[in-house]
């Protein structure tokens, strides 16, 4: 399956076994209700999640695209914001599933765009890993875009990270 982002000029190809879902709108609405300050509510308005595709089976997996308008957030457009952004995004995504930990970020170039990558895991009370995740965040124009993946099986995270993304006019390459 493919997702094309008109605003940021990229196309993501992801496994056909994942189905696009509108469940993300329910998550956003719940987040909106939980937010106390006007600043938090305004920030949520600067963030869009144009794609959430998932496989709702015992072999659960999802891929999500989040777009953050940095001007709207009043945040400078610099590579320095990518690490905290990726860590916060993945930690929050995994926290919905249990106790989460995330690694330090690795910086790289995704088709000449500054980008960072990190992995994370969810553990149960005994410390056994129950889910895995990863995030790639990149600067594109005046926005930051994060591709987040979560799966029960660690191997599925690795294969989702191999999903090709192509920026208009450039050949597609794996996210990581």
CA distance 116 to 105: 6
CA distance 16 to 69: 29
What's the confidence (pLDDT) of residue 161?
Answer: 97
Whether 82 has a pLDDT exceeding 70, the answer reads: yes
Residues with Cβ within 8 Å of residue 73, at least 6 apart in sequence: 43, 46, 47
Reported as a pLDDT band with limits 50, 70 and 90, residue 154 is very high
DSSP 8-state symbol, 26: H
What's the confidence (pLDDT) of residue 116?
Answer: 98
Q: What global pTM score does this model have? A: 0.90
Contact 41, 35 (CB under 8 A): yes
What's the confidence (pLDDT) of residue 35?
Answer: 66
CA distance 151 to 14: 14
Q: What percent of the chain has pLDDT over 70?
A: 91
What's the confidence (pLDDT) of residue 93?
Answer: 87
What's the confidence (pLDDT) of residue 27?
Answer: 66
DSSP, residue by residue, 67-124: EEETTTTT---SGGGHHHHHHHHHHHHHHTTSEEEEPPPEEEEETTEEEEEEEEEEE-
Of 167 and 96, more confident: 167
């Amino acid at each position: 399956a493919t997702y094309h982002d008109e605003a940021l000029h990229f196309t993501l190809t992801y496994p056909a076994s994942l189905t696009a879902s509108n469940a993300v709108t329910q998550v956003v609405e719940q987040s909106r209700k939980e937010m106390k300050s006007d600043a938090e509510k305004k920030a949520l308005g600067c963030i869009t999640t144009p794609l959430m595709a998932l496989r709702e089976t015992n072999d659960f997996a999802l891929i999500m695209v989040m777009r953050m308008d940095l001007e709207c957030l009043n945040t400078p457009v610099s590579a320095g914001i990518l690490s905290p952004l990726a860590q916060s995004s993945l930690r929050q995504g995994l926290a919905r599933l249990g106790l989460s930990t995330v690694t330090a970020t690795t910086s790289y170039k995704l088709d000449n765009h500054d980008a960072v990558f990190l992995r994370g895991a969810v553990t149960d009370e005994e410390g056994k890993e129950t889910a895995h995740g990863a995030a790639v965040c990149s600067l594109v124009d005046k926005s930051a875009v994060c591709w987040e993946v979560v799966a029960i099986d660690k191997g599925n995270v690795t294969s989702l990270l191999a999903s090709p993304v192509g920026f208009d006019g450039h050949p597609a390459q794996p996210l990581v």
